Amino acid sequence: MPTINANRVGSAIGFGNSSFTTAREGNAESVSDNPSNADANAINHFFSSGRGGGTHKIRRVFIHFDVSSISSTPQDASINIAGHSQTSADIIVVKSNAMGADGSTALAASEFFSSVAYGFPFSSEITSWSTGSNSIPLNSDGLNHIGSNNNLTVAIIEHDSDFQNTANTSGTVSSGIDFGTTITLTYTEAASGYSHKVSGVASASIGKVNTVATANIGKINTVD
């Protein structure tokens, strides 16, 4: 299975605020370009109760892959991340245009919220996080993006509060990342050959047509 290493990684910590909306939608308090240490709270929604309603704080991770070598939509693809320590936050991968959208610049504090495309999730909700290896399958939108773009830039964010835009006040949740281990994208290349239904049968269920393997068929009855 082909593997592409992350070209650039950015880690960001938001400002703490009693307003969840302000904490979520403001700039970052600090950012780290290509971090290399293990971080127990890499993806995080922090909440501490207290007078005035308590304090919210959010952390996000941004990743860029150069996918220019992939010429068509892959059959499947996964982002692979080494976990660390904390494993309590559900997460999700969403589209982003951070880091110049092509990994050419370091993550900026101003990109903390503005670059996160909440309406374009590239994965489903991930409800299990390990201190070992974690593989996040991309959905069809993520796969189609890879097939039609030279760059894949994503944000990995906490799901229940950050993605859902819901002020969870039950406590802090975090999923850690060992940034010392390279983050990778693995994928299965697009199937070659004829890719349409034949007599109502999906191409995935057809191995041969008139003894000819579908991988060697470009047209059937002059139809591409």
Locate tokens 């191409």: which residue? Answer: 203
Rounded to 5 degrees, what angle do the CA atoms 187, 142, 66 make? 60
Whether the per-residue pLDDT at 197 is higher than 80: the answer is no
Q: What are the angstrom distances between the C-alpha of 201 and each of 1, 115, 164, 207, 212?
A: 28, 42, 39, 11, 16
Identify the pLDDT of residue 111: 98
In the chain, what are the domain boundaries? Answer: 3-188, 192-224
Tens of pLDDT, residue by residue over 73-116, are: 999 999 999 999 999 999 999 999 999 999 999 999 999 999 99
Residue 215 pLDDT grade (very low, low, confident, very high; cuts 50, 70, 90): low
Question: Tens digits of per-residue pLDDT, 132-156?
Answer: 999 999 999 999 999 999 999 999 9
Mean of pLDDT over the chain: 92
Give the pLDDT score at 53: 76
- For residue 195, what pLDDT is reported? 59
pLDDT band for 205, please (50, 70, 90 cuts).
Answer: low
Q: Which residue has the higher pLDDT, 91 or 214?
A: 91
Rounded CA-CA distance 208/205 in Å is 9
Most distant CA pair in the chain: distance in Å?
A: 76
